[in-house]
Amino acid sequence: MKVFIGIIILIGILGFSGYYFWLNQAGGIVGQIKGWKSYTNVAYGFEFQYPDNYELKEEKDDVRSIFYVSNFTYDISKNSFRELKNDEMVFRVVVEENNTKTGYPYVKRAFESEMKNTTLSGIPARKRAFEEGDGGPGTGIKDALSILTFYQDKSYYLEVRPYNEASVKLFEEIVPTFRFTR
């Protein structure tokens, strides 16, 4: 009987360990990353984590909400992405509602078939590096890395600028912590 109970406990431990490993590989959040803050947005139903030494700011207009995370004091009204110094980074989440004031229906039609090269919180998504001037592939130097997906009648666009080794690393660390909460 003791051997049977021991086997059951061992199977439980192995099962939990396998589940924990699977969540980490699948990009699921398994608790708080040490030294990072968490941001939860109840209205849009998402959350993500970001480094403790970064600031978070929100901007909202009548068509979208933008959440900026930066390692310097980023003034949305004054700072241009083109003027970032090499050690300055801005990660942002842009949420756009499906309504007549936005380009959402066009964007969804244009990109929905391309939602194949990655996922965001388990939802098919499109990941790409943008090139300077946003003129498309082959038009310039990479200046941003982004992921776009559509969820519950909204577009979610995650982006980091400038495009360099440090910002790509930051992007690859933050994105797996992003998840939809409803």
Q: What is the pLDDT of residues 46-89, one digit of tens each?
A: 999 999 999 999 988 877 898 999 998 877 666 566 677 768 88
The pLDDT value recorded for residue 56 is 94
pTM: 0.73
pLDDT of residue 80: 63
26 and 64 within one domain: no
Q: What are phi and psi of 122, to 5 degrees?
A: 85, 0
Number of residues that make up the chain: 182
* Whole-number pLDDT of residue 27: 40
Same domain, 53 and 104: yes
14 and 57 in a single domain? The answer is no
Is the Cβ–Cβ distance between 157 and 94 less than 8 Å? Answer: yes
- Based on the fold, state whether residues 96 and 134 are members of the same structural domain: yes
pLDDT for 110 equals 62
User: Residue 12 is part of which domain span?
Assistant: 1-30
When pLDDT is cut at 50, 70 and 90, the band that residue 43 belongs to is: very high
Same domain assignment for residues 74 and 22: no
User: 90-112: b or e for each residue (b if 16 or more CB lie within 10 Å)?
Assistant: bbbbbbbeeeeebebeebbeebe
Residue 34 pLDDT > 50, yes or no?
Answer: yes
Residue 92 shares a structural domain with residue 105: yes
123 and 97 co-located in one domain: yes
User: At residue 166, does pLDDT exceed 70?
Assistant: yes
Looking at the fold, whether 73 and 23 belong to one and the same domain comes out as no
Of 39-48, 113-122, 152-161, where does the model show the most confidence? 39-48
Q: Is 35 found in the same domain as 118?
A: yes
Q: Same domain, yes or no, for 53 and 125? A: yes
CATH of the domain at 113: 2.60.120.1690
Q: Which residues contact 76 (CB under 8 A, 6 or more apart)?
A: 57, 59, 66, 68
Whether residue 96 is found in the same domain as residue 135: yes
Give the separation between CA 64 and CA 57, rounded to whole angstroms.
14
Total domains, the chain: 2
Lowest mean pLDDT among 96-110, 119-133, 137-151, 155-169: 96-110
Do residue 16 and residue 78 come from a single domain? Answer: no
